[in-house]
Structure 1
């Protein structure tokens, strides 16, 4: 089963359609007036928190959207094509053959010095620049406006609809779908011959929703396992019940509500000490298997994808569990990018968790240290009771400013977070 062209994503990193929440954020920060069905693609970038490239097509980037952990607010950094797209006010330059990128704009470069002065006195740190067939972006500095980037204009630059993208990529998604079904059939047959029980895990997230529906086409009455840690979002619990009813799932809910009973003994869970995963998920799951499938080995269908993280990028289609010695996990959508998952969901009109429209990417425990800090702050906005219970505990060990910036999520802060902490102490003196 050799790899096909459709398994190669157009994007190097996980990419998705902008959610309703992200559309609202971008509209607030820019001159765009986006609708929820407009095509805006967000590609993950390295950073301390949320940070993504913003595209209107596969190869047309209009900016970077990120969450600033200093100001605790969203920021949008435009590219030249943002100004071509929006028609926002820009400074017009004379046609100059010399290289201007990285240079300060001098009066001799300007078509209209008055235009420069009027635009420069505005509040925006970024300013559009136009020079004939070229469009650029400048940055305000103490010495003036410095030209950050300059690119040749594109023809017919405009915002398309999500529907356009779906139709354009329908054939690729169908091919990817068939490939994943072949993966499922191959390994299910292999492990059934070995006497394994087949089941599927379901978290309430988009990936496990898709992998669950795919395997049901092969095993309609397959056991679908959801672990309720007692830390799930209320929306997730409602969604799981609705999803199970809509698709007639053979749903089993495993009780994993052991977090608060172990908290004092184990301490605050962190990215580098996620004891809660064992206590609230793996141990209850192992006990469930031993009770329901005594003396049997288990093959569990799992929606993990290699684009999600560096660790998962190393996965093969199957992996023996490191905690449950009689379990093997199978990853049928391993090669899918997030944009593929969302394309399939929208093409097939599959029910998805409403939290995705509210600013969440990770559907799991509301206090998970692996979630983005921008998501954690959304808990404060949407679920104040859940937020208060956890924050009141964290206040025993951290200041409120430290909590708001997520310092509690590590036992040992990584270098960039350590720099942020020092900056807040030394520059703002607001962590005392």
Structure 2
């Protein structure tokens, strides 16, 4: 069975489970990236009922927003329900720029509170489709499967990587109706993704044509040195982060905490991992800094 047909069969199985467990169709979570584009096409070809949702991160590039708007308009015209999920934190609308002062620390590879609040809040109580792939990281290879149940307790997480796994019966009949996940292209390689996009002529985010290898929040620490290119193309986002860091320092000082950062620009340079900056924290100083200021920080 080829990759496309295997993905279609996974989606059809997930659709049956979604209708049985929730009485609702599958939800395709659309990030605006290439993997989401393939998932939309796979679900369409599966011939099942489905919806599409996007979790607004508030830090996406303008090209991503325009691309999503065009897709949602086209999908709604063909009768597919589409929805934008706005992030909330402690009952209030959240943005990246509000979270940084609240958390009193920039988002980092270690502290990815932004993902938890801005990207993962949607789809609760539904069966969702994502474009997660093992090829993207070693960590995903070890903790993401074809079918999953979403839970904050690792001991209760169920990951199924075999399409014919007998344990799937347990998963299908589980009485707990939390978020369920299907990753239909989890075993696709990068070359498989691009070959499929080219052969099926799928429209993708224009950021890829601008030389981007990934589509996500502008300034995401997971992007490494590519962030310098992002901020050169989108300087407004750089200024937004610096303003947020300035408000963050105000919150730290107002709470009586200590910090070696003197200005918002200092924070930005540390965050961008620029070395030899006077008074600069190193990434390995993070745990020490957090222990000194732990009572004032919110790192939930």
> Which TM-score band (shorter chain)?
0.5 to 0.7
TM-superposed CA distance for 1:397, in Å, is 6.5
1:252 and 1:410 map into 2 onto residues whose CA distance is: 41
Is residue 184 of structure 2 the alignment partner of residue 357 of structure 1?
Answer: no
Q: Match for 1:250 among 50, 64, 81?
A: 81
TM-score in terms of structure 1 length = 0.48
**Farther off after superposition, 405-414 or 266-275:** 405-414
SS in 2 for 1:280: helix
TM-superposed CA distance for 1:254, in Å, is 1.0
TM-superposed CA distance for 1:398, in Å, is 2.7
Q: Match for 2:138 among 310, 320, 333?
A: 310
2:182 and 2:268 map into 1 onto residues whose CA distance is: 42
TM-superposed CA distance for 1:184, in Å, is 1.4
TM-superposed CA distance for 1:227, in Å, is 1.1
Is residue 254 of structure 2 the alignment partner of residue 386 of structure 1?
Answer: no
Q: Larger Rg: 1 or 2?
A: 1
TM-superposed CA distance for 1:196, in Å, is 5.2
Greater RCO (CA < 8 Å, at least 6 residues apart): 2
2:17 and 2:48 map into 1 onto residues whose CA distance is: 18
Match in the other structure for 1:214 = 42
Match in the other structure for 2:255 = none
8 Å Cα contact 2:106/2:271 also seen in 1:
no
TM-superposed CA distance for 1:281, in Å, is 2.7
Match in the other structure for 1:158 = none
Q: 1:318-340: CA deviations, max 9, x gaps? A: 11112497001100001101111
TM-superposed CA distance for 1:245, in Å, is 3.1
Is residue 97 of structure 2 the alignment partner of residue 260 of structure 1?
Answer: yes
Match in the other structure for 1:276 = 114
Q: Match for 1:236 among 61, 64, 67?
A: 64
1:334 and 1:410 map into 2 onto residues whose CA distance is: 35
Q: Which runs of 5+ in 1 are unaligned?
A: 5-174, 290-296, 415-432
Describe the shift of the 1:273–1:401 C-alpha distance in structure 2 as closer, same or farther (beyond 3 A): closer
2:198 and 2:180 map into 1 onto residues whose CA distance is: 30
8 Å Cα contact 2:55/2:120 also seen in 1:
no
Match in the other structure for 1:335 = 187
Describe the shift of the 1:186–1:222 C-alpha distance in structure 2 as closer, same or farther (beyond 3 A): closer
- Greater strand proportion: 1
2:69 and 2:285 map into 1 onto residues whose CA distance is: 38
- Greater helix proportion: 2
Describe the shift of the 1:327–1:219 C-alpha distance in structure 2 as closer, same or farther (beyond 3 A): farther
Is residue 7 of structure 2 the alignment partner of residue 183 of structure 1?
Answer: no
1:85-164 pair list within 5 angstroms: none
Describe the shift of the 1:401–1:189 C-alpha distance in structure 2 as closer, same or farther (beyond 3 A): closer
1:409 and 1:350 map into 2 onto residues whose CA distance is: 45
Alignment length, in residue pairs? 230
1:52-91 pair list within 5 angstroms: none
Describe the shift of the 1:348–1:245 C-alpha distance in structure 2 as closer, same or farther (beyond 3 A): farther
Q: 1:279-338: CA deviations, max 9, x gaps? A: 22334x26xx4xxxxxxx421011100000111112221111124970011000011011
Q: 1:324-378: CA deviations, max 9, x gaps? A: 970011000011011111111111111100111223222111121212322x111
Describe the shift of the 1:233–1:406 C-alpha distance in structure 2 as closer, same or farther (beyond 3 A): farther
